[in-house]
Structure 1
């Protein structure tokens, strides 16, 4: 079992106390942590200037019957899944594919979550960064993080789960797509959706 002291020493030794971070983590890679995942959140907050994580919600996505060409989607292919779609609400859980840590951060009393119905982010001490996200610019928090000398912190995972790579792909001119999401009011178009890396 990893103790609070061991984990705090390891994260503090990275020297990120003046830097905001976006974190991707696999708790399974750590093994048991004394005090559980909440301990890791506490240490991250104490060891950095602010913590942000992707809190994506794919259960809100809809695939229409028709749409624009060259959009990397099979229109009309998810009729049954569309019936199960849930309207986005900020209190809905983070998709399980993102791991458990983002949902624990989302529940932190000081956490803020963005309102993008698919690609939301949550964070603590990251209010201005998170507020930069719009439906038209879902990766804006990563762009602002880069401007703030922010870091990508990968804990027990590799770059295959690094959301910041999507921002780099956008800067490199990679095609962005359109997706659709259910909200309490209506179905919304979500432009500038990154492709799968």
Structure 2
């Protein structure tokens, strides 16, 4: 009996089936896919914003380097003008030009500091503050340059006025009435040119003093 039981085949044993994946409903599956797409889009937008910020920083660095080059050229021109004024012994213009040179050197140092801070990637607020100071100094430099040009133009007009007065005296002695009238008209036009120039010079001096204070 025992031998027969051993020879007979064993009954089949029922094994537990493996766990099948749970089937999600279709709307929930679409919602998950949509969330994944939105996450990918947000990552792409963040990457684009970072690239745009990097491009803006590079452009700002390029502009600062160009500005540095322009300021160096302006420094060379002012040095040449300084030598010319030294030869002509114009003390007031010489002092103004020295002030311009000092301001230009300060601008160059500030610009180099700003480029260094950009390369070191320091906080944005500090960079904006330095940019504001740089723009303010640039405005002051432009005003002083305009003041210097106006003073030079004023000196030229005064020299022209003196020459016309000498010519007027000469014509009075020679009694040439027509030329005398033409010269008087030229003197009147020259005075009309001098008055707005003096007013503009006064306004520039007031604006410079306001910026300094």
Using the size of structure 1 for normalisation, the TM-score is 0.22
Instruction: Give the structure with higher Rg (CA).
Output: 2
Higher relative contact order (CA 8 A, sep 6+): 1
Quick check: which one's helix share is greater?
2
Using the size of structure 2 for normalisation, the TM-score is 0.21
